[in-house]
Amino acid sequence: MLCYGCFKSSPIYSYIPSPIISNKNKNLLFKTFPFLSSHKPKFTSSLSCSHSLSQIMDLDNSKDQESTSLFEFLSRKAYAPPSWASLLNPIPSHIFSLGHLPTPIHKWNLPNLPANTEVYLKRDDLSGMQMSGNKVRKLEFLMADAVAQGADCIITIGGIQSNHCRATAVAAKYLNLDCYLILRTSKVVVDKDPGLTGNLLVERLVGANVQLISKEEYAQIGSVNLTNDLKEKLVKEGRKPYVIPVGGSNSLGTWGYIEAIREIEQQVQATTGRIKFDDIVVACGSGATIAGLALGSWLGTLKAKVHAFAVCDDPDYFYNFVQDLIDGLKAGVDSHDIVNIQNAKGLGYAINTSEELKFVKANCYRYRGRS
């Protein structure tokens, strides 16, 4: 049976590129991820249906995408790593097809770039509407592991508008698993109904169980203890929970962006030598994305330097965290050798200055108007 889930209007996604770094004789690749607005969609059918309007539209783009969307979406397949990653350990046994991959790479025709500099965007905001962004690549491996372990529910944790939590809730719904979300928010609203704005709307539409916790409690108890406490409670109730950490960032989730490097390699090869990327620039919020990109680029043929801009915590924290992730894969490399991490917290996570917003607006306008 083919089930269509159509939207009268869909959540609005936009992408904001990472800060611009210009180097002479360089090609730079920027990763872009989605931000969900507070626009409230009106649904004519459940999100649990197999194909959304955006997926159907994707089918018209190419026969290859049509084949992938119709016959591979939600399929669980044996996983074979790139040859250059075959010595990493452990190697995942399976992967779920959850994303609309490969995502395109678009040239960004910015004005006033230095001579011999080109900037491109890797459009991971187009990896699928409900689960778009970098989260879906990690979830392809994490959800396959959850199913392999016989889980009947998923636990994860993040901020009140966490893209990761929204993507996890939708992925769990697709796979007929219950989802439990622990969401961090301010003390003044922790005992109130969180409402139906942004990612919360999607999470509640797909039936996720939402538990709010104050930022102060989160800092005191920690994400690991919070998820473990909930896991113990559910086990006592006879459930089989599977815990996914903040941002899906563990060694298994890192494979999502090791695999992304293989995808970029294939796209570069298709240009028959016309394009070569010297640098990859990406925002960093939890760590596994930059770990996978950096390790994959280091091991593979891409050999592009990865530059990460930390939007929370400081560079030393992320160097150590990335080291733990790649040590978990027995990679035998030093995180300082494969990624350059810079502090980009500014005033704080999700807090912008008026100058930053003007910069984003101006450059998004230039991109749409010139590309």
Mean pLDDT along residues 102-119: 90
Q: Which DSSP symbol is given to 20?
A: P
Instruction: Tell me which residue range forms the domain holding 163.
Output: 147-248
Q: What pLDDT, in 10s, does the model give residues 295-337?
A: 999 999 999 999 999 998 899 999 999 999 999 999 999 999 9
pLDDT level of residue 47 (50, 70, 90 thresholds): very low
Q: What is the pLDDT of residue 209?
A: 96
User: Is residue 162 among the annotated active site residues?
Assistant: yes
Q: Does residue 349 sit within a domain?
A: no
The answer to whether position 9 is within a domain reads no
CATH code for the domain in which residue 222 is found = 3.40.50.1100
Q: Which of 132, 162, 223, 297 is catalytic?
A: 162
Nearest to 106 by CA among 128, 122, 124: 122
- Cis status of the peptide bond prior to 245, with omega within 30 of 0: no
Higher-scoring residue by pLDDT: 349, 332? 332
* More confidently predicted of 173 and 9: 173
Contact in structure between 106 and 323 (CB atoms under 8 Å): no
114 and 21 Cβ atoms separated by less than 8 Å: no
- Identify whether 314 is part of a domain: yes
Rounded (5°) CA angle 149-228-180: 70
Same domain, 257 and 241: no
Q: Which of 215, 248, 281 is the last residue of a domain?
A: 248
> Does some domain include residue 55?
yes
Q: In this structure, are 78 and 95 located in the same domain? A: yes
On the question of pLDDT at 14 being above 60, the answer is no
Q: Indicate the pLDDT class of residue 53, thresholds 50, 70 and 90.
A: very low
User: Does residue 260 share a domain with residue 241?
Assistant: no
Using a pLDDT cut of 70, give the percent of the chain over it.
Answer: 79
Question: Is 341 a residue whose pLDDT tops 90?
Answer: yes
55 pLDDT above the threshold of 90: no
Does some domain include residue 351? no
For residues 238 and 261, state if they share a domain.
no
Mark which of 196, 216, 248 sits at the end of a domain.
Answer: 248
What the block records as the tokens of 148 is 């392999």
| Residues 66 and 193 occupy one common structural domain | no
> What is the pLDDT, as a whole number, of residue 13?
30
Dihedral-angle region of residue 8 (phi above 0 means left; psi in -120 to 50 means alpha; beta otherwise):
alpha
pLDDT in tens, 243-270: 999 999 999 999 999 999 999 999 999 9
Q: Note the pLDDT tens digit of each residue in 136-187.
A: 999 999 999 999 999 999 999 999 999 999 999 999 999 999 999 999 998 8
Per the domain annotation, does 342 fall within a domain?
no
125 close to 34: Cβ distance less than 8 angstroms: yes
**CB distance 53 to 7 below 8 Å:** yes
Clarify whether residues 120 and 257 are in a common domain: yes
User: Is the domain of 106 the same as that of 117?
Assistant: yes
CA gap 292, 151 in Å, rounded: 26
pLDDT reported for residue 29:
67
Q: Does some domain include residue 118?
A: yes
Asked whether the predicted pLDDT for residue 214 surpasses 60, the reply is yes
Q: Are residues 213 and 313 in the same domain?
A: no
- Residue 128 sits in the same domain as residue 255: yes
Tell which of 248, 266, 283 closes a domain: 248
State the average pLDDT for the chain: 82
- Same domain for 326 and 182: no
- pTM reported for the whole predicted model: 0.81
CA distance 159 to 62: 37
Both 36 and 131 in one domain: the answer is: yes
Looking at residue 332, what is its pLDDT?
A: 97
Contact call for residues 339 and 308 (beta carbons, < 8 A): yes
Domain count within the chain = 2
Q: Is 240 a member of any domain?
A: yes
In terms of domains, do 255 and 366 share one?
A: yes
- Which of residues 143 and 66 earns the better pLDDT score? 143
